[in-house]
Amino acid sequence: MSARRIFARPARFAAIAPYVWMVLFFLVPFAFVLKISLSQTAITQPPYTPVFDVTAGWAAIKQAFGALSIDNFRLLVSDDLYVLSYLRSLVVALVSTSILLLIGYPIAYGMARLPKRWQPIAMMLVIVPFWTSFLIRIYAWINILQHDGLLNQILLALHLVSQPVVWLSTDSAMYLGIVYSYLPFMILPLYATLVKMEPSLEEAAADLGASPLHVFWLVTFPLSLPGVGAGVLLCFIPIVGEFVIPDLLAGSNSLMIGQTLWLEFFTNKDWPVASATAIVLLVLLIAPLLLYDRLQRRQLEQR
Amino acid sequence: MAHAKVTRFNVASLALGFAFLYLPIVILVIYSFNASRLVTVWGGWSLVWYREFFNDSAMIEAAWMSLRVGAASATIATLLGTLAAVALSRGENFRGRTLFSGMLYAPLVMPEVITGLSLLLLFVATNAERGFWTVAIAHTTLTMCFVAVVVQSRLGSLDRSLEEAAMDLGCDPVRAFLMVTLPLIIPAIVAGWMLAFTLSLDDLVIASFTTGPGSATLPIRIYSEVRLGVKPEINAICTMVIGLIAVVIVVASLVSKLTSARGESAAPL
């Protein structure tokens, strides 16, 4: 038996504790979300009618199944508020992921072109904001964008505008905040694939007469597709469910789905509808999540 | 891309990109030393808003809560995440492996509203008293996945012949792991702890769902203040959090630089 296989046996035992933890605190909770999404709203504490009390015997279980209702899901489909906020979330995520790719690509490309000894520093500079609090970085923008904030002061001083512009509570502020917050998530996977690319491939294409634009489209970009995929998914999936950024920077006339869920849960105390909202959001994200899982697996396990 | 030329376009995009990433933070830090009560009017340098924070007992309490939750959850997460990474990168194929790695990778991108809501419903159903431990458990669940990825990518880049040589020389697998593999992955484990700690310190959404009355974390307090508008005291608090995180990052990169034998990238991810 090879050393590798002997080593594998105790290594598998290491999986037990994290496995149990993730089943208990990641998988099992979804069962509760599903269960409560199928129960009725009630003005009690906690605010839903309990279903499934296994201790009460078979009759009670049968009755509980009878009490399950898909009313909450029917509400989600019939009420424009929910449909619109799902759509808005998808549109916002698509638009901001595209902007992120457009901005992140040149930065990642520039990093990969730097001399070897500067690259760790550049990478550090990208990682530091990623470690710094989301909330604080959004707050920093509120400082700048508010009515008498720095941006308006500069614009007024340069006589570019005659009176302060409303920046806060607009979609532009929200897009700015999202792009700012997620930029490191786009740059890092792009850089990781670009840095592994052989520069001789681009040189060869150029020597054979391809224009720089052709070199990029026919050589660089296709070879960087794994990084593009990882970066896009790493941004798109969480942005769809984003709450903090639209809540603090966007106006309140149209909500993203994360805000709707938050509102149902914390303000309306309607846990069943909040749960149903979460289930639908999860179903929408299943395909990108599976794709991301495959990419992540390939990246971490094929060496 | 070692020999490629650095073009003017490359330099420009890097300069603009880094300016975009750092200017808002720099402005926030500068304004935190502003003496004026009006955040945007410069009134000279002053530490008055830092004093304000240290007199704000609710804010101090929230900060203390966040630090404790961060330390507790990062420690458990580092332990579990490292175990998970070892199993995934050294366990070959075992039953339930696909589900295991799926459960570890999904929380990295899962919208926080979903994770937070589902954990809260679990805690309510099991009648757990909500407060310190429910938030710590929730943060552990999220951050152990980040630790697992950091440690797993380090394990993947290790030369496996080292531990195999130790076993050929008579070590049993556990001893080979403890004596050879573990010392080599310590930098990643330290970086993992620090990442888990800062992620916990940063989280608003999951903590809002899973905490109980009277035990707000720092982001929850900051959020409720920010919703009411910009206050100079918040600038000071944010600057201190940024300072703390900067220290954590410097320590993490120093540790990985000092201990990485081949002097590879010092970046903690």
Predicted local distance difference test score (pLDDT) of residue B7: 84
Which residue in B117, B149, B197, B257 has the most chain A C-beta atoms within 10 A of its own C-beta, making it the best mutation to test that interface? B117
Query: Mean pLDDT, to the nearest integer, of A207-223?
Result: 85
Residue A209 has pLDDT above 50, yes or no: yes
Predicted local distance difference test score (pLDDT) of residue B141: 97
What is the full DSSP assignment across A60-85? HHHHHHHH---HHHHHHHH-HHHHHH
State whether B17 and A107 contact (CB < 8 Å): yes
State whether A133 and B245 contact (CB < 8 Å): yes
Predicted local distance difference test score (pLDDT) of residue B196: 93
Predicted local distance difference test score (pLDDT) of residue A57: 61
Interface of A with B in 64-123 (CB under 8 A): 103, 106-107, 109-116, 119-120, 122-123
Predicted local distance difference test score (pLDDT) of residue A47: 64
What is the full DSSP assignment across B6-28? --HHHHHHHHHHHHHHHHHHHHH
The structure tokens listed for A49 are: 């009618």
Predicted local distance difference test score (pLDDT) of residue A41: 67
Query: Mean pLDDT, to the nearest integer, of A139-166?
Result: 85
In sequence order, which residues have a C-beta less than 8 Å from that of residue B262 and are 6 or more positions away?
none
Predicted local distance difference test score (pLDDT) of residue A137: 86
- Establish, for the pair of chains A and B, how many residue pairs have beta carbons separated by less than 8 Å: 317
Name the residue of chain A whose CA is nearest to B84's CA.
A15
A209 at interface of B, judged by CB pairs closer than 8 A: no
Name the residue of chain B whose CA is nearest to A144's CA.
B24
Predicted local distance difference test score (pLDDT) of residue A58: 63
In sequence order, which residues have a C-beta less than 8 Å from that of residue A108 and are 6 or more positions away?
A186, A187, A188, A190, A191, A194, A227
CA distance B65 to chain A (A): 16
Name the residue of chain A whose CA is nearest to B227's CA.
A248
Name the residue of chain A whose CA is nearest to B257's CA.
A120
Predicted local distance difference test score (pLDDT) of residue A279: 92
CA distance B215 to chain A (A): 16
Domain residue extents for chain B: 8-46, 56-259
What is the full DSSP assignment across A29-64? HHHHHHHHHTSPB-SSSSSB-----GGG-HHHHHHH
CA distance B80 to chain A (A): 5
Which is more confidently placed, B261 or A281? A281
A212 at interface of B, judged by CB pairs closer than 8 A: no
Domain residue extents for chain A: 16-69, 75-301
Predicted local distance difference test score (pLDDT) of residue B40: 67
Interface of B with A in 149-178 (CB under 8 A): 149, 152-153, 156-157, 160, 163-164, 167-168, 173-174, 176-177
Measured between beta carbons, the chain A residues lying within 8 angstroms of B113 are: 241, 243, 258, 261-262, 278, 281
Which is more confidently placed, A23 or A45? A23
Residue A64 has pLDDT above 80, yes or no: no
Fold of domain A75-301: MetI-like fold (1.10.3720)
User: Burial letters for B195-217: b for 16+ Cβ neighbours within 10 Å, e otherwise?
Assistant: bbbbbbbbbbbbbbbbbeeebbb
Give the Cα separation of B167 and B163 in Å (integer). 6
Name the residue of chain A whose CA is nearest to B40's CA.
A149
State whether B106 and A111 contact (CB < 8 Å): no
- Give the 3-state secondary structure of residue B45: strand
State whether B112 and A238 contact (CB < 8 Å): yes
In sequence order, which residues have a C-beta less than 8 Å from that of residue B64 and are 6 or more positions away?
none
Q: How confident is the model at residue A59 (pLDDT cuts 50, 70, 90)?
A: low
Give the Cα separation of A46 and B269 in Å (integer). 41
> pLDDT tens across B140-162, in order?
999 999 999 989 988 988 888 88
Residues of chain B with pLDDT under 50: 1-2, 261-269
B102 at interface of A, judged by CB pairs closer than 8 A: yes
Which is more confidently placed, A152 or A94? A94
CA distance A78 to chain B (A): 22
Residue B67, classified by CB atoms within 10 Å of its CB into exposed (0-12), middle (13-18) or buried (19+), is middle
The structure tokens listed for A146 are: 């508010």
Q: Which of B120, B179, B143 is nearest to A18 (CA)?
A: B143
> pLDDT tens across A32-57, in order?
999 888 887 665 556 666 555 555 56
Name the residue of chain B whose CA is nearest to A153's CA.
B40
Mean pLDDT of chain A: 85
Measured between beta carbons, the chain B residues lying within 8 angstroms of A135 are: 202, 204, 219, 222-223, 226
The residue type at A247: D
B141 at interface of A, judged by CB pairs closer than 8 A: yes
The residue type at A295: L
Measured between beta carbons, the chain A residues lying within 8 angstroms of B18 are: 125
State whether A238 and B168 contact (CB < 8 Å): no
CA distance A31 to chain B (A): 8
Where are any strands of DSSP class E within B158-247?
Answer: none
Which is more confidently placed, A147 or A258? A258
Interface of B with A in 199-228 (CB under 8 A): 201-202, 204-205, 208-209, 219, 222-223, 226-227
CATH number attached to the domain at B56-259:
1.10.3720.10
Predicted local distance difference test score (pLDDT) of residue B267: 40
